Amino acid sequence: MSDFQLTEQQLAEYRETGHLTVEDVFSSDEVAAALRDIDDWSREFLASLTDEQRVWYLERGTQTPALRKLDNPAFQRPVFRQMASHPRLLKCVEQLIGPGLRVWFSQVFMKPPGGGGPKPVHQDNFYFGPSDLDGVITAWLALDDATTENGCLYYADGTNNGPVLDHFAPEGEPFNLQIPAEVASQYEMTPAPVMSGGVSFHHGNTLHQSSDNRSDRPRRAVAFHYVNAKTDFANPALKYDLDVIVEVAP
């Protein structure tokens, strides 16, 4: 693997707050290659969208059709498979959740300027229903600088050590699982800005959200959802395709 090492202090911070920001995991060239690939893939995907897919994949309220997300980059696209298997990233993930790593699911999240809407408060472990709550981690890699203006993530510190809460899906949005606003308002959400090439790691139980993009810059990121050797998505709330799991460090 890599000689890149998280410090004891960083590991303690992750255990206590349920998230950790590590800057400079990827170089600007690696990020530029990923962004070029997103442009190509987005063009192809936009041209092939069915009416049903448009509801879930397109931003609402933009003048021209703009994609909100792309699924399974680590499986679908060699550039992202390489990123998900990058020794520096894997070293961090292995220190945080242990060996035998697989990417069970991955997503590119996009927030175009003037249109990128918020993602409500949720816990990844509600979506994934893992056999071991501590065996899942999301590595959220900022492709653009992610700030409070363009929609960085916000976390409720310490909720990694609490329960998985009930979620609901709004009418007509079965995939948009979230906790009720009156429950979410009881938690203080801490912004986690991260510069392009940096990674914001979060535990599967950590409550998180992102705000809307109020800037004139895009906010693009890729999330790799890793599990360790002992863990699988035993009781997922949505259907996940087992054929797209990527073994990255068996």
Ligand X SMILES: O=C(O)CCC(=O)C(=O)O
Is residue 59 within the footprint of ligand X (CB under 6 A)?
no
Q: How far apart are CA 246 and CA 250, in angstroms?
A: 10
Cβ atoms within 10 Å of 160's Cβ, excluding its own: 24
Tell me the closest approach of the beta carbon of residue 169 to ligand X, in angstroms: 15
Q: How far apart are CA 19 and CA 126, in angstroms?
A: 17
| Chain residues 92-111 in contact with ligand X, contact rule CB under 6 A | 109
Pick 37 or 124: Cβ nearer ligand X? 124
Beta strands 219-227 and 136-142: pairing type? antiparallel
Q: How far apart are CA 244 and CA 109, in angstroms?
A: 18
Which listed residue (104, 128, 140, 224) binds ligand X by CB under 6 A? 140
> Number of residues in contact with ligand X, rule: CB under 6 A?
9
Using CA atoms, how far residue 47 sits from 29, 51, 53, 54, 193, in Å, is: 28, 11, 12, 11, 33
Is residue 57 within the footprint of ligand X (CB under 6 A)?
no
Tell me the closest approach of the beta carbon of residue 223 to ligand X, in angstroms: 4
Kindly give the residue spans of alpha helices, DSSP state H, lying in the chain. Answer: 8-17, 28-48, 51-57, 73-76, 78-84, 87-97, 124-128, 181-184
Pick 47 or 228: Cβ nearer ligand X? 228
3-state secondary structure of 115: coil
Pick 77 or 208: Cβ nearer ligand X? 208
Is residue 210 within the footprint of ligand X (CB under 6 A)?
yes
Tell me the closest approach of the beta carbon of residue 64 to ligand X, in angstroms: 21
Pick 68 or 77: Cβ nearer ligand X? 68
Is residue 144 within the footprint of ligand X (CB under 6 A)?
no
Tell me the closest approach of the beta carbon of residue 244 to ligand X, in angstroms: 17
Is residue 206 within the footprint of ligand X (CB under 6 A)?
no
Which listed residue (17, 72, 138, 205) binds ligand X by CB under 6 A? 138
Is residue 221 within the footprint of ligand X (CB under 6 A)?
yes
The C-alpha angle 1, 202, 5, rounded to 5 degrees, equals 30
3-state secondary structure of 111: strand
Interface residues toward ligand X, by CB under 6 A:
109, 119, 124, 138, 140, 208, 210, 221, 223
